[in-house]
């Protein structure tokens, strides 16, 4: 049985490192990496507690002034459960979303933020950065509402050389 290679711990970044130029070289690289990765994808998932049970919902994100600003559908009501609570937010490049054209092994990444969320009114510049909202959510007109997460930590994970999975339609 082959031995497993040692693994490096996940990179964790403080909100100060997100907000400004960090002095710690490991944190600086991790914060820049997290921000750069978030800029390559528009959507992720917010994790929250809903009636004392864990719940995950899709959200659009932008990074601004060291915070993560989310746009979610008001009709779901999740924004009320998040306001003032600690939430998680994750975005990634899973193989189905970033596969190579030739079926070669690929690299994937995941960024997770944790922090307190607040319902906010975005600035006109922030609204412009979000771009157009979806037409509908679960068959009803999409009505945006916004949450700002003050990150308490950021974690970045990378997987390299991930084999391409080709779905099989039956056996």
What is d(CA 36, CA 168) in angstroms, rounded to the nearest whole number? 34
Mean pLDDT of the chain: 80
Share of the chain above pLDDT 70, in %: 73
Instruction: Taking residues 98-120, report their average pLDDT.
Output: 80
pLDDT greater than 80 at residue 98: no
Instruction: Taking residues 130-141, report their average pLDDT.
Output: 96
Phi, psi of 146 (to 5 degrees): -130, 140
Q: Which domains does the chain have, with CATH numbers?
A: 11-162 (2.30.110.10)
Q: What are the tens digits of pLDDT across the range 152-169?
A: 788 898 888 888 766 665
| β-strand partners of 14 | none
What is d(CA 109, CA 155) in angstroms, rounded to the nearest whole number? 11
Neighbouring CB atoms inside 10 A of 13's CB total 27
Nearest to 157 by CA among 89, 99, 107: 107
Neighbouring CB atoms inside 10 A of 135's CB total 7
What is d(CA 95, CA 110) in angstroms, rounded to the nearest whole number? 11
pLDDT greater than 90 at residue 9: no
Q: Which residues of 33-55 are buried (b: 16+ CB within 10 A; e: fewer)?
A: bbbebbeebeebebbbeeeeeee
* Amino acid 22: pLDDT: 33
CB 44 within 8 A of CB 71: no
Residue written as token pair 């690929």: 106
Confidence of residue 12 (pLDDT cuts 50, 70, 90): very low
Q: What are the tens digits of pLDDT across the range 13-36?
A: 444 444 443 333 335 557 677 878
Confidence of residue 129 (pLDDT cuts 50, 70, 90): very high
Higher pLDDT, 20 or 45: 45
Higher pLDDT, 130 or 10: 130
* Amino acid 5: pLDDT: 41
């Amino acid at each position: 049985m082959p031995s497993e290679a040692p693994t490096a711990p996940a990179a964790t970044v403080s909100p100060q490192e997100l907000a400004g130029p960090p002095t710690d070289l490991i944190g600086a690289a991790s914060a820049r990496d997290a921000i750069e990765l978030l800029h390559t994808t528009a959507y992720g998932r917010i994790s929250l507690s809903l009636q004392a049970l864990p719940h995950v919902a899709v959200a659009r994100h932008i990074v601004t002034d060291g915070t993560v600003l989310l746009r979610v559908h008001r009709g779901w009501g999740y924004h009320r459960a998040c306001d003032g609570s600690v939430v998680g937010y994750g975005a990634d490049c899973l193989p189905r979303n970033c596969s190579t054209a030739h079926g070669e092994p690929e690299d994937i990444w995941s960024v997770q933020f944790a922090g307190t969320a607040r319902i906010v009114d975005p600035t006109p510049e922030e609204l412009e950065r979000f771009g157009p909202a979806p037409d509908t959510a679960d068959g009803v007109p999409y009505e945006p509402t916004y949450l700002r997460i003050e990150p308490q930590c950021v974690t970045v994970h990378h997987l390299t050389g991930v084999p391409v999975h080709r779905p099989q339609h039956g056996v």
